[in-house]
Structure 1
Amino acid sequence: MAVIVTFHVPGVGPELYDSCIERLTAGQGFTSVADLPVPGLLSHASGPVAGGWRVTDVWESIEAFEAFGKVLGPIIADLGYGDLQPEVGPAHNVVIR
């Protein structure tokens, strides 16, 4: 079952996000779900919100997201946000172009 994963990061702007992407993709950038080092991402969006930054992903399964978390976790911790916890919930409907 697909899951929706949302990170709310108060007090930061695009710099933290860009640093994560730089490390996740070994500097290659992120323009396709295939650019990530693990499979299973269906969609991704990020942007500013009042007082911080938000990232919302849709993953094929909780297992796919957990595999990604094993890669992302150390990066986030190294950047000083090791206690960051996402909201994770089941997707009722996923539509992809």
Structure 2
Amino acid sequence: MAVIVVVELPGVTKEQYEENHSKIHAAPWWPVDGFVSHAGAPADNGWLVVDVWESAEAFQGFMEKAGPTFQEVGMPQVQPKIYEAVHVDIGS
């Protein structure tokens, strides 16, 4: 079942987000299986990330690969909110 993953990153700057995003996309394992979509936006106290994954297991697999990059860039360790998706529509 597809999932929506919401991550609030307090204290994260646009520069940290952009650095992390660039490093993930440059990794030899990217794109990772099960990835559907990603959006990042500034939030009141940091940064907000919303992803869609084919499954919770696909997201966990990504986290295992991306964890070292998150630490290297200084991302805070936070607990993502994971929701089962009812509909996932791509494009127009």
- TM-score after normalising by structure 2: 0.84
> Per the alignment, in what secondary structure is the counterpart of residue 93 of structure 1?
coil
Identity %: 42
* Structure 1 contact 73–82 (Cα < 8 Å) conserved: no
Contact kept? 1:74, 1:82, Cα under 8 Å = no
Rounded Cα–Cα distance in structure 2 between residues aligned with 1:44 and 1:37: 12
**Does the aligned pair in 2 maintain the 1:42–1:57 contact within 8 Å?**
yes
Partner of 2:15: 15
Which residue, 58, 63, 75 being the options, matches 1:64? 58
Q: Which of 39, 42, 48 does residue 42 from structure 2 map onto?
A: 48
Alpha-carbon RMSD across the aligned residues, in angstroms, is: 1.9
User: How do 1:67-86 and structure 2 match up within 5 A?
Assistant: 67-81=61-75, 83-86=77-80
Question: Could you say which residue in structure 2 is the equivalent of 1:24?
Answer: 24
Q: Which runs of 5+ in 1 are unaligned?
A: 28-34
What is the number of residues matched between the two proteins? Answer: 90
CA contact (8 A) 2:9 2:76 kept: no
- Where in structure 2 are there 5+ consecutive unaligned residues? none
Structure with the larger RCO, 1 or 2 (CA within 8 Å, 6+ apart)? 2
Normalised to the residue count of structure 1, the TM-score between the two structures is: 0.80
Supply the AA of the counterpart residue of 1:83: Q
